Amino acid sequence: MLLIGIAGGTGCGKTTVVNKILNELPDGEVGVISQDSYYKDTTHLSYDERVSINFDHPRSIDFDLLTRHLKDLKDNKVIEQPMYSFVKHNRTGDTILTHPRKVMIVEGILILTNPELRDLCDIKIYVHADSDERLIRRLKRDIAERGRDLDEVLTRYQNTLKPMHTQFIEPTKEHADIIIPNNKHNIVAVDIIKNIIAQKL
Ligand SMILES: Nc1ncnc2c1ncn2[C@@H]1O[C@H](COP(=O)(O)OP(=O)(O)O)[C@@H](O)[C@H]1O
Ligand SMILES: O=c1ccn([C@@H]2O[C@H](COP(=O)(O)O)[C@@H](O)[C@H]2O)c(=O)[nH]1
């Protein structure tokens, strides 16, 4: 199995890049694991307590479960990937049966902060977009798709997201094998990754 890790700050376009890669490859050949599915289970907390969690700090992620699942996939085992609700700020309680594929992509803001996870990745990619571009995209997306309002996005951005990005996420660029500039849609970079995957398939 070829494991590709795709990191980068919120709104840089990780999910969009992954979808573009998947769209043009044969159905079912490439599997995706989202770091978001591995936010720690916070069912024991009230909604108000969950809202105040710092979701941009590495300790918010259940890296033990995530790395265990990636190792299982590498060992050709099926896993039960948790499902996550951004609206509830918690796992839904459901899981998706995820089968090992020849190529698996793991994507998320913090995946390159974890040394064990980095070692599992055969190719490490960092998607870069400028912070103003990312904030604009995040505002539009979170208001349209994740049940947020202007005040929620900007308050989280100032209080946790921006400082965590500077402290934990941006420095992981140095671990990347490939950095994709993504202020604009980068068709050439997506084609290069698609070709690497097509060779493996
Ligand atoms: N290169 C790009 N140019 C303009 N908008 C983009 C680009 N890449 C992604 N977007 C948009 O920005 C928003 C965030 O992108 P997304 O892929 O969800 O980012 P991430 O997964 O890194 O948080 C989405 O609404 C998406 O359509
Ligand atoms: O319950 C949650 C969990 C996370 N977030 C925010 O999501 C982003 C990461 O997702 P991207 O798709 O990469 O943007 C992170 O910045 C968290 O702040 C959330 O709002 N609620």
Residue 74 phi, psi dihedral angles, 5° rounding: -60, -30
Assess whether the C-beta atom of 86 lies below 6 angstroms from ligand 2. yes
Tokens of 50: 């969950």
- The answer, as to whether pTM is greater than 0.80, is yes
Residue 54: give its domain's CATH number: 3.40.50.300
Helix (H) or strand (E) holding 178: strand 178-181
162 in any annotated domain: yes
Ligand 1 closest atom vs CA 18: 17
197 in any annotated domain: no
Number of structural domains (the chain) is 1
54 in any annotated domain: yes
Handedness of CA 19, 20, 25, 30 (dihedral sign): negative
The ligand whose atoms approach the alpha carbon of 18 most closely is 1
User: Measured in angstroms, how far is the CA atom of residue 129 from the centroid of ligand 1?
Assistant: 10
Ligand 2 closest atom vs CA 160: 18
Ligand 2 atom 1: residue of nearest CA: 89
User: Measured in angstroms, how far is the CA atom of residue 146 from the centroid of ligand 2?
Assistant: 9
39 in any annotated domain: yes
199 in any annotated domain: no
Place of tokens 């992954």: 18
88 in any annotated domain: yes
Range of the domain at 132: 2-191
The Cα–Cα gap between 103 and 121 comes to 11
Handedness of CA 85, 87, 160, 180 (dihedral sign): positive
196 in any annotated domain: no
Assess whether the C-beta atom of 14 lies below 6 angstroms from ligand 1. yes
Q: Are 43 and 91 in contact (CB under 8 A)?
A: yes
ipTM of the complex: 0.98
The per-residue pLDDT for range 92-115, each reduced to its tens digit, is: 999 999 999 999 999 999 999 999
The Cα–Cα gap between 173 and 127 comes to 9
The per-residue pLDDT for range 42-99, each reduced to its tens digit, is: 999 999 999 999 999 999 999 999 999 999 999 999 999 999 999 999 999 999 999 9
201 in any annotated domain: no
